[in-house]
Copies of this chain bind each other. A is one copy, B any other.
Amino acid sequence: MRIGELSKRTGVAVPTIKYYLREGLLPPGERTSPNQARYDDGHVQRLRLVRALIDVGGLSVAKVQEILATVDSPDDDIDKRLGAMQRAVLPALPVSTHPEMQDAAEQEILAMIRDLGWRHEGRHPAVTALGALLVTAQTLGHTRFLDHVRRYAAIMETIGVVDLDYLAGHTELDQVLESVVVGTVLGDSALLALRRLAQTNESAKRYPRLAAAEDVEVGCDPDE
């Protein structure tokens, strides 16, 4: 198909498609004349993926470039490619505001992981992130935050099972790689949206008076 048809099928404007072509987010079409190229269904799918990552996942063009480079890598080492992709779609790490407290906090997180019996290799970036969150909570005087994270962790263990089931449903390598990207980016957003709904539900169950008031999603009732 021509670029106009590609635009029509995906809803992405032609100048935007040209921009993605220049930035390498979309592989070039097959050149049919000096000024024209032909695109195929692979371009349609790739364009939809790019839009999903940018519009829905909120990723930057640079981040999408990094992720797609891993998807497109000719490297046969699937382990390496999956690892690189996982790192590329990691959410921005929180910055520790108190570096001198960071190490002790990470030790607490590692002890929690040990208590859970979770397998892990080396110092995962998520441990650094959780350490930074714990330090922040501590400096704010929220001393119960670690217990809160422990309760979260016990629940999130099952999310890991659901996530791996999702990947296991795909057999083609390209599909597996795309599923990691889609499952991670869309899954993060879905979890946070579900958290809000779960809070609303639990709040309505605990505080029926608040639930009757409009506009309240999470509440507690200091009068009772």
Chain A: residues with CB nearer than 8 A to chain B? 11, 45, 48-49, 51-52, 55-58, 78-80, 82-84, 86-87, 90-92, 94-95, 97-98, 113, 116, 118-122, 124-127, 129-130, 132-133, 136-137, 139-142, 144-145, 148-149, 151-153, 155-171, 173, 176, 178-180, 182-183, 186-206, 210-211, 213-222
At the interface, is chain A mostly helix, strand, loop or mixed? helix
A219 close to B120 (CB less than 8 A): no
A99 to chain B, nearest CB (A): 10
Copies of this protein, total: 2
Q: A11-B97, A193-B130 are in contact. Are A167 and B220 (CB under 8 A)?
A: yes
**A133 contacts across to B, CB distance below 8 A:** 56, 186, 189-190, 193
B162 close to A148 (CB less than 8 A): yes
**A163 contacts across to B, CB distance below 8 A:** 195, 198-199, 202, 218
